[in-house]
């Protein structure tokens, strides 16, 4: 039986990955900051699907938190076969309205943690000749909009570059770029969602099903919905100056987790 480790597993896309992978018979390592919620989630998934669910409390904004997950991913005996780097958050406000400390914390979680955890996981996976990594980015990676979009653009570029470097090793890497998903993400960041049209909202469970299918097909980039694929096509053809003006008016409300 294979094992999947999911960061930010207790809510949103992370919880959807946990539900789907448990239903498919994978053992899980559930990573988040809230021990109580982790234990409740682990018990529910074990009781419902008969899988083993390990709890790992870790704050990926801290050195100790990243180090603890690195250690778990680096184990050679009870190794991890699939890593889902999903942990993330948004900051409310435009550039210079958000405290610099909060921006730096975002970079630690979205970039440093993703780099270090991906490296720990793929090093062990390459030895075994198999494994997969899903790094959750966002469609915000493709528009010029503040630190959130910039950090997610880094995730996309890093993941696709690493996927090329590991081609033929048996290890697959994929950047997942959802749009708006109905989760706790915006509420935790204090962001309103009233101005987001209904058609832009995605279902987390359907999103995960598409993402896992794309990973199995060997894709290094997944935009898991026809509506957003079409929207990203328009974005590619829109002048950057114009696109920047549009995203500035809509505010910093991108964020899938």
E strand segments, 140-203: 171-176, 180-181, 201-202
Check residue 234 and give its pLDDT.
57
Q: How far apart are CA 101 and CA 120, in angstroms?
A: 26
Partners of 199 in the β-ladder: none
Query: pTM here?
Result: 0.86
User: Are the C-beta atoms of residues 204 and 6 closer than 8 Å to each other?
Assistant: no
The pLDDT-based confidence of 145 (bands split at 50, 70, 90) is confident
- Residue 256 falls inside a structural domain: no
**What is the CA 86 to chain-centroid distance, rounded?**
3
- Among 92, 80, 4, 77, CA closest to 45: 4
**Tokens of residue 111, six digits:** 């970039």
- Sheet of 3-7: strand order equals 53-57, 27-32, 3-7, 82-85, 131-136, 171-176, 221-222
For 168, left (φ over 0), alpha (ψ -120 to 50), or beta? left
> Binning pLDDT at 50, 70 and 90, where does residue 249 land?
very low
Q: Give percent of the chain above pLDDT 90.
A: 72
Residue 148 designated active-site: yes
Q: Is residue 89 part of a domain?
A: yes
Q: Does residue 257 fall inside a structural domain?
A: no
In a domain, 235, yes or no: yes
Instruction: State which residues form the domain around 85.
Output: 3-250
CATH number (domain holding residue 196): 3.40.50.720
Give the model's pLDDT for residue 193. 52
Q: Which range, of 24-38, 207-221, 240-254, averages the lowest pLDDT?
A: 240-254
Which two tokens mark 158? 């890093």
Element (H or E) spanning 132, and its range? strand 131-136
pLDDT at 171 over 90: yes
Query: Could you tell me if residue 80 is inside a domain?
Result: yes
CA distance 13 to 10: 9
> Quick check: is 193 in a domain?
yes
In the 8-state DSSP scheme, what is residue 111?
I
Rounded average pLDDT over 241-255:
41
How many residues appear in the chain?
Answer: 257
Number of domains in the chain: 1
**191 is a domain residue:** yes
Weakest-pLDDT range from 22-26, 213-217, 231-235, 243-247: 243-247
Among 25-29, 48-52, 138-142, 222-226, name the one with the lowest average pLDDT: 222-226
């Amino acid at each position: 039986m294979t094992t999947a480790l999911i960061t930010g597993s207790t809510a949103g896309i992370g919880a959807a990955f946990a539900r789907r992978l448990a239903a498919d018979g994978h053992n899980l390592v559930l990573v988040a900051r809230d021990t109580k919620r982790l234990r409740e989630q682990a018990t529910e998934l074990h009781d419902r699907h008969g899988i083993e669910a390990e709890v790992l409390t870790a704050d990926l904004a801290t050195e100790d938190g990243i180090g603890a997950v690195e250690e778990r991913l680096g184990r050679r005996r009870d190794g991890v076969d699939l890593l889902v780097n999903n942990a993330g958050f948004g900051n409310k406000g435009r550039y210079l309205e958000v405290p610099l400390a909060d921006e730096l914390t975002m970079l630690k979680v979205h970039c440093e943690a993703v780099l270090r955890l991906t490296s720990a996981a793929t090093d062990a996976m390459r030895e075994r000749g198999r494994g997969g990594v899903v790094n959750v980015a966002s469609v915000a990676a493709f528009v010029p909009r503040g630190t959130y979009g910039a950090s997610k653009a880094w995730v996309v570029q890093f993941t696709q570059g690493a996927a090329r470097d590991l081609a033929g090793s048996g290890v697959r890497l994929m950047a997942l770029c959802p749009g708006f998903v109905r989760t706790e993400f915006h509420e935790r960041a204090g962001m309103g969602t009233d101005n987001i049209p209904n058609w832009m909202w995605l279902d987390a469970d359907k999103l995960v099903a598409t993402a896992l299918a794309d990973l199995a097909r060997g894709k290094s980039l997944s935009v898991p919905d026809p509506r957003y694929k079409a929207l990203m096509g328009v974005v590619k053809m829109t002048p950057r100056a114009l696109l920047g003006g549009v995203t500035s008016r809509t505010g910093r409300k991108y964020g899938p987790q």
